Structure 1
Amino acid sequence: MNSKAPGKLVIGRVKFFRRHRGEVNFSAFSPDGQTLLTASEDGCVYGWETQSGNLLWRLGGHTGPVKFCRFSPDGRLFASTSYDCTIRLWDAAEAKCLQVLKGHQRSVETVSFSPDSKQLASGGWDKRSGQVLRHLAGHRDSIQSSDFAPSSDYLATGSWDSTIRIWDLRAGTPAIFHQELEGHSGNVSCLCYSTSGLLASGSWDKTIHIWKPSTRSLLVQLKGHATWVKSIAFSPDGLQLASAGYSPMIKVWDCNTGKCIDTLKGALDVAHACTFTPDGKLLLVSGAVD
């Protein structure tokens, strides 16, 4: 899908990345947009050349389904999380595992790099949100999603306890949550910050909330999904938000008005994740085909 100004969507030539041996749980572009990373239920992490669609590598090592993957903002590293309770940190240039991070007691569902690429946060079914520097505890149920604020000073985590917690990570501050955002009536399944510092959250209650975290204000509530919201992504300019429900449908929203610009249905039976290319021109959707 080609993305232009809000309200103008053009469906172009669709490219498929087909060589997975299981459902695709998540996908992420490198900062330069040249490489696509995909996390598969088959226990492997795949790297693809974005333009050609050629498979660059298929990386094993995890002993369970790979749930999440993400590049560091500087493009030098990427991380993968798994049902096997570990996080693997990889060298992006050599596609080589540098370190296996252990400590979670249950499936690791999310991982986030800070914008300066110096910190890594993870969360999972054991109700923990951890970093290399601190262990953050407080959610009353599993942590499904996380993202750093653009400044790297705060970390947002979304939980099955239906809340979002914003953690203050500045040096010298105690390891307690800074504030809690309430309003969802179901599990918070996905989170993402915009470059301007707004925070979007998707939930099992079939809605998306857009927040201004500094004032704890709910700016807009997006309704329209018939199933729970599994993935959300801001466009690089922050003007649009894409969302995937647990269905074949993808919605694209105007963040200023809260209106749905379009509802797209591709070739997938279930869409698990959506993300924009770094230049904002394309939208990638990953998931499962029966």
Structure 2
Amino acid sequence: MKLAGLKSLESAHDDSIWATTWVPATETRPSLLLTGSLDETVRLWKADDDVVLDHTNTGHSLGVVSVAAHPSGVIAASASLDSFVRVFDVDSNSTIATLEAPPSESWQMQFHPKGTMLAVAGGSSTSIKVWDTATWQLAASLQIPRPESSKPNDKIATKKFVLSVAWSPDGRRLACGSMDGTISVFDVARAKFLHHLEGHLMPVRSLIYSPNDPRVLFSGSDDAHIHMYDAEGKSLIGSMSGHSSWVLSIDASPDGGAIASGSSDKTVKLWDLSMRAAVQSMTNHSDMVWGVAFRPPGGAGVRACRLASVSDDKSISLYDYS
């Protein structure tokens, strides 16, 4: 397996790009690349062999920290430091819903695999907020339990600040990563906390389940490691190291055979999961790489699996994965 650098677009935004994801193809258009920036905008890009701006969405008054795309490809969401999540129609840019959270309580987001819910990492609320996408009402607030040894006046909220969230491919589990390095796993149907996964010593900024196995969860942390867990059996399967600084973003390839990661060491790495080792390091960016995302399969005329990365250097890079 390998990555081949395809195209880089400099100055894709006016400020650091902190978030990216792919919007799935629909019957009327191919998949689009969605990016969110500290310049307060969300942009959509036609990103096959080139990177061409489709349109720019505004609506936030502070920087955008996360973006998410509904599996239908029709709607998407952006979360900002202005405390709002904006849900919008991808093609028309019309606002469908505005979800309000207290200051800085919306971080990473992900839609349920069937699109029925949107999970939002809840920052210092030490919870995951789950919104019903039919009504845009709050369906659940999954609270991370306070350790038995802690007292109410402990600074537990700071340590448990929730940064990242991921759905299992079957939609039965939600995992969230916190500032203290712990990962919490919930049974969504019962709104029940199941257990913690431990092993990281620093903030867990990114989580992704294996597309092939709903038990396997990957995490990226400021401790520069990527961990592979059996999220049901509560066990650490493996730990992969190779970055020289924080791991800011990870994503799993659609075939389930590889992980891509972006780091504050300015590199994008490709990890072979059968070897549990980095097999390639890409140096397209000149600053921290905040987001990596594999394009989902499907869509007319799609010739290759594609990876995108975004950075503090305001650029987007595309790679072919084979």
Pair 1:136 & 2:134 matched? no
Deviations 1:159-186 (A, max 9, x none): 112111111111xx2x331121011111
Pair 1:148 & 2:167 matched? yes
Report SS of the residue matched to 2:305: coil
Pair 1:30 & 2:54 matched? no
Amino acid at match of 2:24: P
Moved more, 210-219 or 64-73: 210-219
Deviations 1:86-123 (A, max 9, x none): 11111123221111101334242111100010101111
Moved over 3 A (4+): none
Alignment match of 2:245 (pick from 200, 217, 227)? 227
Q: Distance in 2 between matches of 1:258 and 1:98?
A: 42
1:261 shift after superposition: 0.8
Deviations 1:212-256 (A, max 9, x none): 212122111001111011000100011000111112111111112
Q: Which residue of 1 aligns with 2:199?
A: 183
Alignment match of 2:186 (pick from 167, 170, 175)? 167
1:281 shift after superposition: 2.0
1:201 shift after superposition: 0.4
Report SS of the residue matched to 1:115: coil
1:17 shift after superposition: 5.9
Q: Distance in 2 between matches of 1:249 and 1:229?
A: 10
1:61 shift after superposition: 1.0
**Higher relative contact order by CA 8 Å / sep ≥ 6: 1 or 2?**
2
Q: Counterparts of 1:92-131 in structure 2 under 5 Å? A: 92-126=90-124, 127-131=126-130
Q: Which residue of 2 aligns with 1:214?
A: 232
Percent identical among aligned pairs is 28
Q: Which residue of 2 aligns with 1:20?
A: 13
Give the TM-score normalised by structure 2: 0.83
Q: Which residue of 1 aligns with 2:208?
A: 192
1:20 shift after superposition: 0.9
Shift in alpha-carbon separation, 1:14–1:53, aligned structure 2, 3 A: closer
Amino acid at match of 1:40: S
What residue ranges of structure 2 are gaps of 5+ in the alignment?
132-138, 146-155, 298-303, 315-322
Q: Distance in 2 between matches of 1:264 and 1:92?
A: 30
Deviations 1:57-109 (A, max 9, x none): 11111111000001011212101001011111111232211111013342421
Q: Distance in 1 between matches of 2:169 and 2:6?
A: 33
Q: Which residue of 1 aligns with 2:40?
A: 43
Amino acid at match of 2:141: H
Q: Distance in 2 between matches of 1:30 and 1:211?
A: 27
Q: Which residue of 1 aligns with 2:308?
A: 284
Q: Which residue of 1 aligns with 2:317?
A: none
Give the TM-score normalised by structure 1: 0.91
Moved more, 29-38 or 62-71: 29-38
